[in-house]
Amino acid sequence: MVGLVLWCILLLIGFNIANALSYDYAASIECLASPQKPRYNGGVIQNPELNEGLKGWSTFGDAKIEHRTLGNNKFIVANSRVLPRDCVSQNLNLQKNKIYTFSAWIQVSKGRIPVSAVFKTQTGYRLAGSIFAESNCWSILKGGFTVDASGSAQLYFVAMLYTI
């Protein structure tokens, strides 16, 4: 099975349309050797640069997650995945009538695999964005969504698996 590597300089920002932050349209379509810093100081994501290990992060499904460092890069690896949704997760509080933008740097351990960011809310599932992530380099996954009701939500990732 393929491990999913996430450079969780994740950010999630909620803003009202009336007093919105300007959206950062910058995104590299290239696969980079090192991920870039989070925009908006990580938004509402807890521990977005993983400076405090796995604080704020948990598993979704049956994955085993671990915090790793390679050079200046800190990231989370999701191993022992059985289902595409077995991955790293974070619980968040989202507010109705806000637009949320999202980005994360993603790398997979083998090949080129579609990876999606999903938010499980009280009213259903919201796809925040998708990308084809590659091994040996970092790709940015960017997207956004709105929520119908205020309350808790769970961010997780879905990645197709290869059989080795």
CA pair distance 149, 75, nearest whole angstrom: 31
The structural domains of the chain, ordered by start, are 4-12+34-159 (2.60.120.260)
Q: Which candidate, 103, 144, 104, places its Cα nearest to that of 5?
A: 104
| Reported pTM | 0.81
**Which residues have C-beta within 8 Å of that of residue 11, sequence separation ≥ 6?**
38, 39, 40, 41, 42, 43, 45, 48, 101, 102, 103, 104
CA pair distance 84, 92, nearest whole angstrom: 21
Phi, psi of 39 (to 5 degrees): -90, 160
> Token pair for residue 11?
């950010």
What is the pLDDT tens value at each position of the chain, 164 positions in all? 445 554 444 444 444 333 444 555 555 677 888 887 776 666 788 888 889 999 999 999 988 999 998 888 888 988 888 898 999 999 999 999 888 888 888 988 888 989 999 999 999 999 999 999 998 999 988 888 888 899 999 999 999 864 32
